[in-house]
Amino acid sequence: MMKICLVAVNFLKHHGEGRVNYEIACEAIRRGHEVTLVARNVAPELVKSDRISWIKLPSKGLPTHILSYTEFCYRVTKWLSRHRDQYDLVHVSEARLWTGADIFTSHFLFDTWLSSPFHPWQIKPSIYSLYQLMVGKWFSFWQNKLFPSAPSLIAVSETLRQELIAKGIAESKIHVINNGVELAEFYPGLAERKALGLPENVTLALFVGDIKLPRKNLETLLKALKTLPDVHLAVVGKLKRSPYVNQVQKLGLSGRVHFLGFRQDVSEIMRAVDFFVLPSRYDTFGLVVLEAMASGLPVITTKAMGVSALVTPESGFVLSDTENVDALAAAINQLTTSPSLRKQMGQEGVAIAQNHSWGDTANKYLDLFEQQSLVKKSVMTNQEKSLLKVN
């Protein structure tokens, strides 16, 4: 039995990065460990466990994400400075603290996105893009400060692992643990389009992602759609401040692009469409692609997404150039004109996704935690023996 401290803003079942933290905590208590969560938000079912202690650091209501997150990190750092020695292992989700830990998980490398020609600041300097630049540089500073000296790092994809190695971080201390998928929620089936507000009797593709910033690359998908008059596209994402509604109108696609806004029923929508497209310009993983595969959908994605390492030629298309409209249109056309290909790829995608459940992901984290704890204890024991010999 270990005493484990897990640090993250969220430990929530329906919250992207927070889902990973939630599953780690669940597996830790399932194995009988004592767990302390240092967090803002924790799922009620976790708090009910007698093996969970919650150090609650609620939001102070500061304006902007950068101030709010920095305030959280400052409070975590102060708490860890007093209590870190009480734990066999400390795991931190992301490196935005003023202190180290035994293991960090990296979900996103800010240096890579800052250097992208598609970063908002590179495209058009403005107050909003300046803010995005400041956020990226601030978080990048702490990643560059803490990652090189961390005893162990977890990267959520092989793509991210290679980026960390390129930054000079020792290859031996980087472990790849892919994110998982909720197989009880995302599975193949048929859903009624009309009930979901979707067009019937048409070939329907699906895009799910942030449609405020250019990183998810909806614009290239819309350009490809312009050349494919028989294809409709459902877009799930928050519409506030999105420039793509106007682009759809300018391209004459208003009748074929269906903006659904933010939705909680993405899994149902996936069971109602024909295939999934996300030509992202940078994603260290891209969980929604794995969710689409679990739902029995053929997928079209890019090498710029970490999840692309899981997409085989039998389950989808991985494009090497995120800006190649013709290549994207050709892949969409193949799926549009061949229902049998869609079925074949969908079945293969399901088989792949079933090997990447959240349970599998959490098991890999806890196996590594237990292994690293033993290494840490061995090192401490050897240091104590050395001190005794000196004395």
Encode 86-116: b = buried (16+ Cβ within 10 Å), e = exposed: ebbbbbbbbbbbeebbbbbbbbbbbbbbbeb
- Those residues whose C-beta lies under 8 Å from the C-beta of residue 279, and which sit 6 or more positions away, are 217, 220, 221, 300, 301, 302, 319, 322, 328
- CA torsion 324→330→336→342, rounded to 10°? -90
Backbone angles phi, psi at 166, to 5 degrees: -65, -25
What the chain holds in terms of domains, given with CATH numbers, is 3-180+357-390 (3.40.50.2000), 194-353 (3.40.50.2000)
* Helix H or strand E encompassing 54: strand 52-56
* Residue (of 116, 279, 272, 256) closest to 208 by Cα position: 279
* Helix H or strand E encompassing 39: strand 34-39
One digit per residue, the tens of pLDDT, for the chain of length 391 reads 899 999 999 999 988 789 999 999 999 999 999 999 999 999 999 999 999 999 999 988 888 888 988 899 899 999 999 999 999 999 999 766 667 789 999 999 999 999 999 999 999 899 989 999 999 999 899 899 888 888 999 999 999 999 999 999 999 999 999 999 999 999 999 999 999 999 999 999 999 999 988 999 999 999 999 999 999 999 999 988 888 999 999 999 999 999 999 999 999 999 999 999 999 999 999 999 999 999 999 999 999 999 999 999 999 999 999 999 999 999 999 999 999 999 999 999 999 999 999 999 999 999 999 999 988 876 655 555 555 555 5
* Residue (of 214, 178, 186, 191) closest to 311 by Cα position: 178
* Residue (of 29, 25, 30, 35) closest to 3 by Cα position: 35
Whole-model pTM: value is 0.91
**Two tokens at 47?**
């708090």
Distance from C-alpha of 21 to C-alpha of 233, rounded to nearest angstrom: 33
Q: At what angle do helices 287-294 and 339-353 cross, to 10 degrees?
A: 110
Residue recorded with tokens 């050349």: 227
Distance from C-alpha of 28 to C-alpha of 249, rounded to nearest angstrom: 50
